Structure 1
Amino acid sequence: MSKNSIFYAILALVILITFIGFPLDLMPPDAALYASISKTMVLNNDYINLYSLGTDWLDKPHLPFWLTALSFKLFGFSNFAYKLPGVLIFFYGAYTMYLFAKENYNKQTALTAVIILLTSLHIVISNFDVKAEPFLTGFIMASLYWFYKYIQQKTWKHLLLGSLFCAFAIMTKGIFALIPIVAAIAGNLLVKKQWKEILNPMWIFAFVFIAVFIIPELYALYIQFDAQPDKVVFGKTNVSGIKFFLWDSQFGRFFNTGPIKGKGDVFFFLHTILWAFLPWSILFYIATVLKIKRNFKIVNHKEEFYTIFGTLATILVFSLSKFQLAHYTNIVFPFMAIITADFIIKLKDQYFKLQKTFVITQWFLIGIVTVAIPLLSFLMLPEFNFSFLIILAISIATILFVKKKEQEKIKRLFYYSAITFCFLYGFMLTHFYPTLFNYQGGVHAAKFSNNNNIETVYLIDNKTHKFGFEFYLNNPVIRVPKEDVNLLKGKTFYADQQELQYLKENNYKYSILKAFDSYRITKLKGSFLNHNSRAEKLNKKYLIVLQ
C-alpha cells in the first residue's frame, strides 16, 4: 500500500463532497447572475456582448462567461454545466500548487498543502457556489508556478505559460489580479537580492505577451461600448469599456471613485480569514509570524518567499480598499496553504515547543464541529438526506484508517482535522444548504413554470434583479415597461411583493397562480435558521395572471 494512501483517501473524500455540490441550485444574486449572463450568450449566439436585466452589463471581464457558455453548449443549461469549468480550473491550480511546493520544499509538504487548500471552508463553499474565485485562484497559482519555472530554467515555454495564465487571471477579474503574482515574484527576488533577475529584459516580453493575450477582452469591450458611445451605462454616455476594464473597475473601487462603491474596514480580511480558512486559520497566522521572524535579520536564501509576499501584499492592498468581500481572500489561499503546511511539517523538530498549541487549537476546532452539526440539525430541522450516511461512513472509515496507519501524533491530528471538516462540509451540502434552498422563491417559481408548461412569463421592467428566476426558466423572460402592463391581460407575470403593491395602487386586477416562500440566503440570520422563527423572516414571490 502506498505511503501516501491517507492523502489519497482524504482527496477522494474531498472529490466526493465536490460532486455532491454540483447538482445543488445556484445562489442568487452573484452565481445566478453569472449563469444567466452565460446563458444569454448561448441563447443569442452572441459571445461579444454581455447582457443582464435586458441591458448592457459592464462589470466583470468575459473569460469566465466564455468558459461557462462553452460548458452550456456541451452539456446544456444545468447546475453541473455552470460549475464544472470553475471547479476544473481550481483543481488545476491546486495541482500547480502541489508542483510548486514539491520543488521548493518536499513532497510531504506539498501533499499537506493540498489537503489544507482543499479542506479550507471558503474553498469548499466557492466550489459549489461558483463565482469568479475558483477561476481566479487556479489562474493565479498556475501563473506563479510557470513564472517560477521560467526563473529556474529560462525557457520560452515557461514564460509563455506564465504570461498566458496571468492574462487569464486579468480576463477573469481585472488588472488587480496582477497583485499577488507580481508581489510574489518581486518580493522573492528583492529579498534574495537577485538583481539580475529583476532587471531581466525578458519581463518586458512577458508584459507584451500578456498584452497580446488580453486582446480578445479588449476587442469585446471595444465592440460593445467604445464603438457605441451613445449607449447609456451607469447613467452616462461615452462610457469606455476598455477604460473601465483597465482603470475604473479596479482602481475606481480601490479609491472608491468608480461607479461601483463600497465601504472599507482595514481589519476586514484579518478577521475574515479566521473563519474562511478554517480549520487552518490560526495555524496560518502563527506560521506567517514565524516565517517572518526567522528571516528578519538574516534571510535564508534556501527558503522561498513567493508565498509570503504574494499573500501579505494582496491582503494589504485589499485591506486598504473601500470595496471588500469575503471571497476576495480565496485567491491567496494556495500561498497560505503552503506557508501553513511548512509550519506543520516543522512542528516535528524546529517548532517542537509549539506542538501543544497545535494540539489545543485543532482539538478545539474538532470539538466545535462535533457540537455544531447536531446543534444546527436541532435548530433547522432539515429533511434527512441519506447521502449524508455515505459521507459519515467514509469519514469514520478514514479516521480509523488514519488511527491504524499514522503513528506521528501531529500528522494524525492534522488528518483528523481535515476529515472532521470534510464531515462538516458533507452535512452542509446534504442538509444545511438544501434546507435553505427551499426558500429560493425565484428558483422554485421558474421550476413551477417549466413543469406546468407556462410558455411565456413576463417581468415588469423596473431593473430589479431576479437572476435565479431568469436562469432556471426554460424560456426567455420578456420584460415589459410599467406603462405597457395594461396591454397584457391574461398573461403570466413573475413578481415580488413590491410589484404587487404597485399593481394594486394602479388598479390592476390579477389572480395569484402560485406563491413561493423566499429569503436571500446569502445574508443568513439566526432567526431564519431557527425553524421556530423562520416563517417571520420570509418574503413572498408570486406567479400571477393579469386580469
Structure 2
Amino acid sequence: MITNRTMLLVLASCLLAWLLGMIFIPVMDIDAAQYASISREMLDNVSFLQVYDLGKDYLDKPPMLFWLSAISMKIFGVHDWAYRIPSMLFAMLAVYSTYRLALLFYNKTIAQLSALVLASSQAMFLLMHDVRCDTMLMGWVAFSLWQMAEWYENRKWTHFLGAFAAIAGGMMTKGPIALMVPVFAFVPHFALRREWKQYFRWEYIPGLLLIALLLVPMSIGLYQQYDLHPGKIVNGVPIQSGLRFYYWTQSFGRYTGENQYHEMSYFTFLLENMLWSFIPWIILFLAGLVFACRDIIRKRFRLGKTEECITTGGFILTYCVLARSQAQLPHYIFVVFPLASVITARFLHSLLFTENLKEWKKPVLVIHAVIFVLLWCALIVLMTFVFKNIPRVIAAAAAAGLLALLYMLFRNRNGGLPLLLKTAFFTVAGINIFLNSFFYPNLLKYQLGNTAAAVLQEQKIDPAKLVQYKIMESRALHFYAQHIIRRKETADQLRPDEVVLTEKDSLSTLQQQFPAMKTIFEGEYFGITMLTLPFLNPATREKEVTRYVIADLDGKP
C-alpha cells in the first residue's frame, strides 16, 4: 500500500522539478519558442480568431495553446513562466485523470502508481519547460477518457458532457487525434466485453453536436482567414481552405500523402524514443504491455464486466496509427502516456505488491539499479566538467545523490515504499532538479535569441531598431524582445540608424559600408537542441560555436 504521505511527497518532488524548469530555463528553439512568440503576438494584436506568426498567416497548429498562453501572459505579464502555466495545469489534470481512470477498474494502489508513473516520466519533466501542444493535448485526452469511462459505468450526464467537451478542447489543441484516441480506446474495450450496443448509442449524436458547437469559434477564424481568401501561401503551399487543411490534410493527409511533411516514417521510431521519454519506467511498461496482451489471449479475447481494455487497446491502436504516419516526431506518442502509465502500474503492482512475480523482483531491481547508478554518474559528469561556472558544491551534491542511492540499495529496510519505486522516484526527480536548476540554464546561454534579447534590455536598445542580417533564425529572440525583429538579406538594405545582429564573420564587409560602426556586444551560440559531444567538451567547444555580434551601424549612442 502507498500512504497518502508518500504519494504527496513524490508528487511534490516532481512538482518542484517542474517548477524549476518553468522558472529557470528559457524557452527553447524551435517549436516552444515559436509557440511562445505566436502567443505573445496574438496578445499584442488582440487577434484570437486569426493566428499569425511574425506577421504572416499561421496554419500548422490549432489555437488552444495560443489562446490560453496569451490569456496567461495577459494576467501575469509576458514571461516564459507565464507562457508555461496553462500547460502545467493540464499536466496536473492528466495526472489526476489518470488516477481517476485507473481507480474505476483497479484498486487504489494501482491508481496511485498510475498517477506517480505519469508524473515522474521523463517526458513530463521535459514538457514543463519545452512546452508544446502535447502537454495540453495529454490533459484533454486523459480527462475525456476518464469522463467517458465514468459515463459508461455510472450514466451521469455531467461525465458525458465533460468527455465530449474535453474532446473538443483537444481538437482545438492538436486536431482530430483528440477524437481518435478515445475511439481507439473504447472500440476494443467494448468488443472484448461483448458490449455491442455501446457502438450504437443515440447519445453520441448530441455529443458530436456539442463538439461541433464548441469548434465554431475556431472554424469561423479559419474560414475568415483562409476560405474567404483562397490561394494564400503557407510554408510554400497554396491553401484553398483552412477548414479542409485543419480537419483533413494536417492529420489524415499524413496517410494519403497530401501533407507536405515526410520525416521519421518507420514503424519503430516512436518506440525508440520512448526509451528515453518514458524513463525510468520503459522496461516495466514493455513487460506490462506483454503481460496485458498475454492475459487477453489467455481469456480468449473476452473480458468480464469489471475488466478493461481501454489502456492496452487504446495504446496499441493509437501507436499503430501514429507509427504509420509519413511524418513523426518523438512527442507524438506522449498523448497515450496516461494509458502507458496504467499498464505500467498494473505490472508494478503484480511485481511489488503480490507474490505473482516474486522470481522477477531481484532481476528487475538489479537491472534498474544499474541504470539508476549510471544516470547519477552521468549527472556528476555534467555538473563537474561541462560548464565551469557550475559551483563545485553542486557537483559534490550530485555525488551525494549517488551515495544516497547506493545507501538505499545496500541498506534497504523492510517496510514502506518498495525499493524499486523508492530508488526510481529518487533518481528521476533528483536528477531533473539538478538539470533544471544548473545544466539547462547554462546550456541556454548558448541559445542566440534569449541572450541577444537580454543584451537589448541591458543596453536599453529599442528592439524596433534591431535588424537581423545573415544569421540563423531564433524564435526566442522575438519572444524575449517582445517585438518582431526585422530581417534584411543584403547589406545595401541596412541603414546607418539601425542596430544589426549578425555573425562576426560579416563584420569586415559591414565595416567598409559603415566605417563608424561600433560593436555593442559579442557572444557565441550553438543549436542547443542538437547537442554533440564536441560541444559538451569545454576543450573543443570553441570550434563548435558560432560567434555573433550586436553592432550600432552609425556608432552613436
TM-based fold match above 0.5: yes
The amino acid of 2:414's aligned partner reads: Q
Aligned length, in residue pairs:
544
Q: CA, structure 1 residues 401+175, in 2 after alignment: closer, same or farther (shift >3 Å)?
A: same
- Indicate the larger mover: 45-54 or 333-342: 45-54
Q: CA, structure 1 residues 513+64, in 2 after alignment: closer, same or farther (shift >3 Å)?
A: same
- Indicate the larger mover: 41-50 or 234-243: 234-243
The amino acid of 1:12's aligned partner reads: A
The amino acid of 2:316's aligned partner reads: L
Alignment of 1:416-435 (within 5 A): 416-435=423-442
- Alpha-carbon deviations, 1:336-365, whole Å to 9, x = none? 111111111111222223223321222122
Deviation at 1:89, TM superposition (A): 0.9
1:351 aligns with 2:352: no
Q: Is the 8 A contact 2:522 2:549 kept in 1?
A: yes
1:15 aligns with 2:21: no
Q: CA, structure 1 residues 372+135, in 2 after alignment: closer, same or farther (shift >3 Å)?
A: same
Q: CA, structure 1 residues 495+353, in 2 after alignment: closer, same or farther (shift >3 Å)?
A: same
TM-score (norm 1): 0.92
Matches of 1:5 and 1:398 in 2, distance apart? 21
1:320 aligns with 2:321: no
Q: CA, structure 1 residues 132+3, in 2 after alignment: closer, same or farther (shift >3 Å)?
A: same
Q: CA, structure 1 residues 67+283, in 2 after alignment: closer, same or farther (shift >3 Å)?
A: same
Give the share of equivalent positions with the same residue, in percent: 27
Matches of 1:463 and 1:237 in 2, distance apart? 28
Partner residue, 2:265: 264
1:442 aligns with 2:440: no
- Alpha-carbon deviations, 1:355-405, whole Å to 9, x = none? 233212221221212321122234413533678999999999999999999
1:543 aligns with 2:557: no
The amino acid of 1:166's aligned partner reads: I
Partner residue, 2:312: 308
Q: Is the 8 A contact 1:255 1:322 kept in 2?
A: no
- Alpha-carbon deviations, 1:61-118, whole Å to 9, x = none? 0001000000000000111101110011110111011111122111111111111111
1:198 aligns with 2:204: no
Q: Is the 8 A contact 2:373 2:405 kept in 1?
A: no
TM-score (norm 2): 0.90
Deviation at 1:135, TM superposition (A): 0.4
Matches of 2:318 and 2:127 in 1, distance apart? 19
Deviation at 1:504, TM superposition (A): 5.4
The amino acid of 1:31's aligned partner reads: A
Matches of 1:203 and 1:461 in 2, distance apart? 55
1:533 aligns with 2:544: no
Matches of 1:174 and 1:388 in 2, distance apart? 44
- Indicate the larger mover: 175-184 or 378-387: 378-387
2:477 to 469, 481, 487: 469
Q: CA, structure 1 residues 129+399, in 2 after alignment: closer, same or farther (shift >3 Å)?
A: farther
Q: CA, structure 1 residues 437+480, in 2 after alignment: closer, same or farther (shift >3 Å)?
A: closer
Q: CA, structure 1 residues 3+481, in 2 after alignment: closer, same or farther (shift >3 Å)?
A: closer
The amino acid of 2:466's aligned partner reads: Y
Q: Is the 8 A contact 2:176 2:251 kept in 1?
A: yes
**Structure 1 unaligned residues grouped into runs of 5+:** none
Q: CA, structure 1 residues 323+148, in 2 after alignment: closer, same or farther (shift >3 Å)?
A: same
- Indicate the larger mover: 372-381 or 389-398: 389-398
Partner residue, 1:512: 519
Q: Is the 8 A contact 1:442 1:541 kept in 2?
A: no
1:376 aligns with 2:353: no
- Alpha-carbon deviations, 1:252-283, whole Å to 9, x = none? 23444323332412111121111110111011
Deviation at 1:452, TM superposition (A): 1.1
- Alpha-carbon deviations, 1:3-38, whole Å to 9, x = none? 332222111111111111121211111111000000
Matches of 1:170 and 1:501 in 2, distance apart? 48
- Alpha-carbon deviations, 1:284-340, whole Å to 9, x = none? 001100111012031342321101111111111121112111111211111111111
Partner residue, 2:340: 336
Q: Is the 8 A contact 2:488 2:494 kept in 1?
A: no
Q: Is the 8 A contact 2:72 2:86 kept in 1?
A: yes
Partner residue, 2:103: 102
Alignment of 1:75-114 (within 5 A): 75-114=76-115
Partner residue, 2:501: 494
Partner residue, 1:163: 164
Q: Is the 8 A contact 1:457 1:477 kept in 2?
A: no
Alignment of 1:29-44 (within 5 A): 29-44=30-45
Partner residue, 1:214: 215
Deviation at 1:493, TM superposition (A): 2.4
2:422 to 415, 424, 431: 415
- Indicate the larger mover: 143-152 or 408-417: 408-417
Secondary structure of 2:136's counterpart equals helix
Partner residue, 2:279: 278
Q: CA, structure 1 residues 241+296, in 2 after alignment: closer, same or farther (shift >3 Å)?
A: same
Matches of 2:118 and 2:409 in 1, distance apart? 19
Secondary structure of 2:234's counterpart equals coil
1:524 to 531, 543, 548: 531
Q: Is the 8 A contact 1:392 1:423 kept in 2?
A: no
Q: Runs of 4+ in structure 1 displaced over 4 angstroms?
A: 385-406, 460-464, 480-485, 501-511
- Indicate the larger mover: 401-410 or 155-164: 401-410
Partner residue, 1:72: 73
2:369 to 342, 363, 370: 363
Deviation at 1:536, TM superposition (A): 1.0
Deviation at 1:445, TM superposition (A): 0.7
Taking only aligned residues, the RMSD between alpha carbons, in angstroms, comes to: 3.0
Deviation at 1:50, TM superposition (A): 1.4
Q: Is the 8 A contact 2:465 2:497 kept in 1?
A: no
1:245 aligns with 2:246: yes
Q: CA, structure 1 residues 516+505, in 2 after alignment: closer, same or farther (shift >3 Å)?
A: closer
Q: Is the 8 A contact 1:399 1:419 kept in 2?
A: no
Secondary structure of 1:201's counterpart equals coil
Deviation at 1:461, TM superposition (A): 8.7
Matches of 1:148 and 1:503 in 2, distance apart? 66
